[in-house]
Structure 1
């Protein structure tokens, strides 16, 4: 059973957590080009993947519970606890910083496109909005990379 849970955990990390980290980077490109609908779609997708990543999180708890007693694993094992905390911070940043920044970027791009069609000069997304999206998505990516390192290294 542990093997099945492990396969599901790793597969979920690749196909659920991976897009949660990568989609905001695609949204940055779309925001720079003023593609409001694409940014809005990517914001919704990022939110869905962020919430779905909780499945991977729960599978991780199952793995700790199923671990061979010789490994002496629990949620208080330092590398497991650090992974839990870093993952929860990453999800919180994704849900409460990145997704709202993506939604703002979509609104800004939409407003910029409307301004251009009304004779304005630029359809660009506000630089401040892109900065929050860039910083937040970068932080999420770094946190998730650290979690992967801890999962593989198991210091």
Structure 2
């Protein structure tokens, strides 16, 4: 049974946390392209994957609970505790900084392409009325970058187990 939970933990990490880290980066491309509907869809998807990432945590707790007592793993084991802290911070940044920034970017892009939008020429696929900076692009980039680094830290701690 412990092998099953190990497999579920790793597979869910790959197929849930992987997209959670990549979707905001895809949204940055959509912001640069001025595609508001795609940014909005990616914000929803990022929110869904953030929630689904709790499965990875649950499977991890199952693995920890079934581990051999000689390893003495618990929630207070330093590498497990730091992994949980890094995960919580990463998901918090994603849900409270990145996703709202993506939604604001979609709204700004909608405003730039809606009625009365500027007829100025587009620069790099984004209209003059909605530049990447005015759409919150830096917040998406910085937040998703920090969240991704924290998720990498979780992987390192899970493999290294210092």
> Shorter chain as normaliser: what TM range?
over 0.9
TM-score after normalising by structure 2? 0.91
In the other structure, the counterpart of 1:97 is 97
In the other structure, the counterpart of 1:124 is 130
- Normalized per residue, which structure has more helix? 1
Q: 1:47-88: CA deviations, max 9, x gaps?
A: 000000001111111111110011111110000000001001
d(CA) in 2 for partners of 1:27, 1:118: 22
Give the RMSD, CA atoms, in angstroms: 1.3
Once the 2 structures are TM-superposed, how far is the Cα of residue 125 of structure 1 from its aligned partner? 3.9
Q: 5+ residue gaps in structure 1?
A: none
d(CA) in 2 for partners of 1:35, 1:144: 28
Total equivalences in the alignment: 154
Question: Pairwise mapping of residues 59-78 of structure 1 onto structure 2 (< 5 A)?
Answer: 59-78=59-78
Change in CA separation of 1:113 and 1:123 when aligned onto 2, cut-off 3 Å: farther
d(CA) in 2 for partners of 1:41, 1:20: 13
d(CA) in 1 for partners of 2:53, 2:73: 22
TM-score after normalising by structure 1? 0.95
d(CA) in 2 for partners of 1:32, 1:24: 13
Q: 5+ residue gaps in structure 2?
A: 121-127
Asked whether the 8 Å contact 1:5–1:62 carries over to 2, the reply is yes
